[in-house]
Amino acid sequence: MNTFRLQFRFLAPLFLVIAATAYLTVPLVDQLSLRWTVRDLNSRSQLIANTISDNVFDAVTSLDHVRLDSIFNRLIMDERVLGVGICDHDGQLSEKTAGFPDGISCSVADAVAKKSSPTLKLTRGSVHIAVEPLDRGVLSLGELILVHDLSYAEKRGEDTRRYLILFFVILGSVIALITVITAHLSLRGWVAGARALMRGEGLLKPFETSSPELQPLAQDLRAMLRELEEERRSRESPQDLWTPEKLRDLLHADLRGDEVLVVSNREPYIHENTPDGIVVKRPASGLVTAVEPVMRACSGTWIAHGSGSADRLVVDSNDTVQVPPDKPSYSLKRVWLTKEEEEGYYYGFANEGLWPLCHIAHVRPVFRVSDWEYYKAVNQRFADKVIASARTDDPVILVQDYHFALLPQMIRERLPRATIITFWHIPWPNPESFSICPWRAELLRGMLGSSILGFHTRYHCKNFIETVDRFLETRIEHEHSIIRLDNRETLVKSYPISIHWPDEAEEASWPSIEDCRSELRQRFGLSASHQVAIGVDRFDYTKGILERANAVERMLEKHPDMIGKFSLIQVAAPSRSSLDEYRYFQERLLQRVEEINQRFGNESYKPFILLAEHQGSNVLTRYFRGAEACVVTSLHDGMNLVSKEFISSRNDLAGVLILSQFAGAAGELPEALIVNPYHVEETADALYRAMTMPEGEQRERMRNLRTTVRERNVYRWAGHMLQDAARSRRRERIEARLLSHSENC
Ligand code: ADQ
């Protein structure tokens, strides 16, 4: 239909031009042909007059009427000669042939003959009149009048006109046909070129040369893409930091306030019943820390599992509550799960299966059919909730983490126009490791329902693409990290997650470093000069807390002078404690810590202080500011936000970060002391080095670390994903328009 309109828009003016040309040309040709006929008749009349004038002269002077009639009758045998007559000196028509037109008197004939085009319109048709003198020497008999019939010329003109119009109609049709065929072929070529161009395949040249008529459009497209690139680059500029305002601007400008939905297992606010009434808690979760600022900026809907004991008491009839409680800015919609569902989907498949599968932490993944069934069912429940919550047919949906590998495809089936961004917060293993999952193909297919699939690092992206390549029939464009499955494409890209960088007002609210130092030491009965390293994690076997304890032990062995002067304070938030592996791990750690503390400590001194507690972010900031070092020894970690939180809290430029080489953050933070946590010697040395590092070196390292984290903050993480989503939406809109054109061609 659109193509028809496009062609009509082109062909209508073409037909108009042809009709106008015909309209002007036909009378012109008419006139020309008449002029030629008149000129022809002038000479013809002259010739006739010259031929017969002597004979006529003789016949008239000899009053030989028979001879005169015979001359005249011979003449009018010519069907084009209508009549011949003689005008005498008195202006009277003294002789005339039969059929001589009535309306032509001598005076009329004289008047007409003087005109440049000596023609006269009579009721029976037009005639040509020629008047020739009839004389010999000085003797004049009057004038010979010759009247020619012009109707044959008119008939010839009519025929010419008809042929001309026919010619123009055929010409127009031929041009129109050629135009339609050319446009059809060009548009097809152009659509392919434009698609390639939008994918950034650099096919602009062939695209332009194959369809030069569409160059202006190509230039527009190129300009649009350039603009986008520049805009993106300008947003990248370190002077122009990503902020909540900038993210909000992006949502409004690039996504034009499109509907945004977030899906995660963990909710950002948990309502709990306590003896003092309902209290609101914030979970210890990197995911929540990162996604919450996006929701605050876009006022969307966050769909999550309602896990708090008072969660049902505070929601409305749509299971929704407005959050944050102190300044509501977005909706939290809760999904209720039965105990069995939670055990099968969350604890079972997600945390006993996928979590150890993706973290190479030497804990054997457990895959039970019943867990898988619950995983599928709960994914479907969340998909239904998303679809029911969507107000538009093309919302932007941010799917969070390994709990929802099947969700993207389930949503895609019902909302094919949605932009689904799935972010996988944990590492992705190599194909061999992933292959042990019995439902690997289903999981991969589910994830490929996403428009954009994000990981923290390029290495995880590479592992994912290789895994898909190994287990699914897809088309992979390695150059652009695009996977095509069932006519849909998924962009696989790294978006390193980060934290909110505190502004001046927040920093001003922090207690001084001295206060934080003394508060921390007082709380644990340590002397003012006691050196402290801090560890903050969920109580999880992937975080390398056991290895950390071993490193403390080894450092004290190697540097006995540190005994009594150094402690590592570990704040471990209880997590997934109902799972066997977590319980064994916690027991093992407690035992190890006790051994170390017995070996090097006493009543008043513990080298390893283990606090199995969840702390508010204010307390954590004070701990970070009061410590000499922060220790992150994850055995495998998607990113690790604790390392970045430590850096952001150290505006005094002091403090040392010890960071595992197996945390995604290690790639961004090379100024940390990077360690292999499995290498106890190396980690122990790093601990000692941190405790003895000169202030100058600390400042130099910390300054660089702070610059990196400040620039690569969480708004940049979200902004880059949403920019890519906006670009993908723009591209899909243009492609849809082009597709409908080409389909109608
Ligand atoms: P997590 O495995 O939860 O996140 P991490 O990135 O360190 O790991 O985030 C933990 C968050 O919880 C931090 O904000 C931290 O402050 C907080 N937290 C930790 N222990 C706490 C405690 N005892 N008390 C209070 N708060 C505590 C997953 C992936 C990571 C990835 C994040 C974000 O495993 O690799 O960085 O998601 O994508």
Alpha-carbon gap, residue 453 to 461, rounded angstroms: 9
Cα(636) to centroid(ligand 1), Å: 13
**Nearest ligand 1 atom, CA 286:** 9
Beta pairing, strands 566-573 & 531-538: parallel
Cα(537) to centroid(ligand 1), Å: 6
Nearest to 745, CA basis, from 158, 254, 101, 180: 180
| Percentage of residues of the chain with pLDDT beyond 70 | 90
**Nearest ligand 1 atom, CA 497:** 38
Nearest to 459, CA basis, from 636, 235, 273: 636
**Nearest ligand 1 atom, CA 287:** 33
Beta pairing, strands 320-323 & 125-136: unpaired
Are the CB atoms for 579 and 544 separated by under 8 Å?
Answer: no
17 vs 694, more confident: 694
Are the CB atoms for 134 and 112 separated by under 8 Å?
Answer: no
Are the CB atoms for 540 and 575 separated by under 8 Å?
Answer: yes
Alpha-carbon gap, residue 289 to 404, rounded angstroms: 19
Number of Cβ atoms within 10 Å of the Cβ of 14: 13
Spell out the residues 6+ positions from residue 286 whose beta carbon is closer than 8 angstroms to its own: 425, 497, 638, 639, 640, 641
Rg (CA), the chain: 48
pLDDT in the model for residue 230: 52
- Is the four-CA dihedral 387, 390, 395, 400 of positive or negative sign? negative
Alpha-carbon gap, residue 721 to 711, rounded angstroms: 16
Nearest to 81, CA basis, from 133, 23, 129: 129
pLDDT band at 2 (very low <50, low <70, confident <90, very high): very low
pLDDT in the model for residue 201: 47
Pocket of ligand 1 (CB under 6 A): 284-287, 289-290, 425-426, 497, 536-538, 571-573, 614-615, 620, 637-642, 645
Cα(642) to centroid(ligand 1), Å: 6
Alpha-carbon gap, residue 571 to 569, rounded angstroms: 7
Q: For residue 699, give both structure tokens.
A: 């400042």
214-271 per-position pLDDT tens digit: 565 655 665 566 556 555 555 555 557 898 888 888 888 888 878 999 999 999 999 9
Nearest to 658, CA basis, from 672, 679, 677: 672
Alpha-carbon gap, residue 717 to 709, rounded angstroms: 11
**Nearest ligand 1 atom, CA 571:** 23
Asked if the model's pLDDT at residue 629 lies above 80, the reply is: yes
The residue nearest atom 14 of ligand 1, judged by CA position, is: 286
Structural element, H or E, at residue 548: helix 545-558
462 vs 167, more confident: 462
User: Ligand 1 test: best mutation among 400, 457, 640, 660, most atoms within 8 Å of CB?
Assistant: 640
Alpha-carbon gap, residue 568 to 595, rounded angstroms: 15
SS3 621: helix
Cα(127) to centroid(ligand 1), Å: 108
pLDDT in the model for residue 260: 94
SS3 483: strand
Spell out the residues 6+ positions from residue 491 whose beta carbon is closer than 8 angstroms to its own: 451, 452, 453, 480, 481, 482, 724, 728
Kindly list the structural domains of the chain, giving each domain's residue range(s) and its CATH number in brackets, ordered by start.
21-154 (3.30.450.20), 246-494 (3.40.50.2000), 504-712 (3.40.50.2000)
Q: Residues 382-395, buried b or exposed e (16+ Cβ, 10 A)?
A: bbebbbebbeeebb
> What's the Cα-to-Cα distance from 657 to each of 97, 164, 207, 535, 679, rounded to whole Å?
129, 91, 53, 10, 17
Asked if the model's pLDDT at residue 598 lies above 90, the reply is: yes
Cα(572) to centroid(ligand 1), Å: 10
pLDDT in the model for residue 8: 63
Cα(449) to centroid(ligand 1), Å: 27
pLDDT in the model for residue 726: 94
Spell out the residues 6+ positions from residue 375 whose beta carbon is closer than 8 angstroms to its own: 344, 345, 348, 349, 350, 406
Cα(73) to centroid(ligand 1), Å: 123
User: Ligand 1 test: best mutation among 538, 540, 611, 668, most atoms within 8 Å of CB?
Assistant: 538
pLDDT band at 99 (very low <50, low <70, confident <90, very high): confident
Edge to edge, the sheet with strand 139-149 lists 93-96, 81-87, 139-149, 125-136, 119-122
pLDDT band at 690 (very low <50, low <70, confident <90, very high): very high
pLDDT in the model for residue 202: 46
> What's the Cα-to-Cα distance from 509 to each of 60, 425, 502, 523, 728, rounded to whole Å?
136, 31, 11, 21, 41
Cα(161) to centroid(ligand 1), Å: 88
The residue nearest atom 16 of ligand 1, judged by CA position, is: 642
Cα(130) to centroid(ligand 1), Å: 113
pLDDT band at 54 (very low <50, low <70, confident <90, very high): confident
Are the CB atoms for 562 and 602 separated by under 8 Å?
Answer: no
Q: Tell me the three-class secondary structure of 486-530, residue by residue.
A: CCEEEEEEECCCCCCCCCHHHHHHCCCHHHHHHHHHHHCCCCCCC
317-350 per-position pLDDT tens digit: 999 999 999 999 999 999 999 999 999 999 999 9
User: Ligand 1 test: best mutation among 285, 456, 495, 589, most atoms within 8 Å of CB?
Assistant: 285
Alpha-carbon gap, residue 25 to 713, rounded angstroms: 73
Cα(674) to centroid(ligand 1), Å: 19
pLDDT in the model for residue 566: 98
Alpha-carbon gap, residue 673 to 628, rounded angstroms: 13
